[in-house]
Amino acid sequence: MKAFLATLATVLTLALGHTAQADGASGKLVLYTSQLEPDARQTVEAFKAKNPGVEVEWIRNGTTELMNKLRAEFTAGAPQPDLLLIADAVTMESLKAEKRLQPYAGAPVSGYRPGTHDTQGYWFGTKLITTGIVYNTAATMKPTSWQDLLKPEAKGSTVMPSPLYSGAAAIHMASIKAQPALGMAYYEALHRNGVTAAKGNGGILKDVAGGAKLYGMIVDYLPIRENLKGAPVAFVFPKEGVSAVSEPVAILSTARNPAAAKAFIDFLLSREGQELASAQGFLPALPGVNPPPGFPDPAAITLMPYDPAKALAEDEANKRAFADLFGG
């Protein structure tokens, strides 16, 4: 009888311990994120409110800078983060190929569109930052299609971000190339129509809002926010569709606290996490969550499909092709 009671006590202790672990993550979680600093702080605080047992240590920088730091840590054999929340899926694909990520098979992806998360569960998009067309409201032509940027009205009056400097632009190029009606021939036609390249999206907004250019390719939230403030710009989701970066999140294969990392992913993908993304001014990745002011219903937006693994394989060739046309 004593042996039975001892065994029962052991089973109950294990069961209760498992339940406690499942019910609430705990311990230290190290996060590397490329979110804007106010958004990162708000996201961490919202997560901690739901998971008070987790101490979050977070480092914020641009994706390129974070990856440089992380690769130096890999070389030293001492990677620090449990979790990455960075700009684009192509970078995640490179880490996946290097076996630097671990899958999370139980992530709550029900209801999410295909393409917003890795089918094997290695990374998960947390929002949609699309690239479409911005135009100065004084322009006579109001574009509705990517092909409109090839019209005479747009000749010499269009600017776009360079994939040599912008991750969103690199994904946009991969997405355009994947469209049979566009492809690399579209970039060649843009070159013939006098389109110029700038380093980043902020400069494009400045050029179009100031009238130096009438049209531009740009990430959605910049012109939409400025339009709401009264700037003379409007944003278009072209009828063929838009490319999108999804600010994916992933767990490192070397994570010291994978349970807390999974809890963080659960929060980001939950309806509450998606409502927070919307409140921060970004399109939520989860259909059915209300978008921020100025944005259409995400269900009405066509996303141009692309293969992140193929985009990774072709990234250097794409950048060389772009530089040959538009310079570095």
Residues making up the binding site for Fe cation: 221
> Which tokens belong to 111?
């209801």
Nearest-CA neighbor of 112 among 244, 299, 304?
299
Which residues are documented as binding site? Answer: 221
Rg (C-alpha) for the chain, rounded Å, is: 22
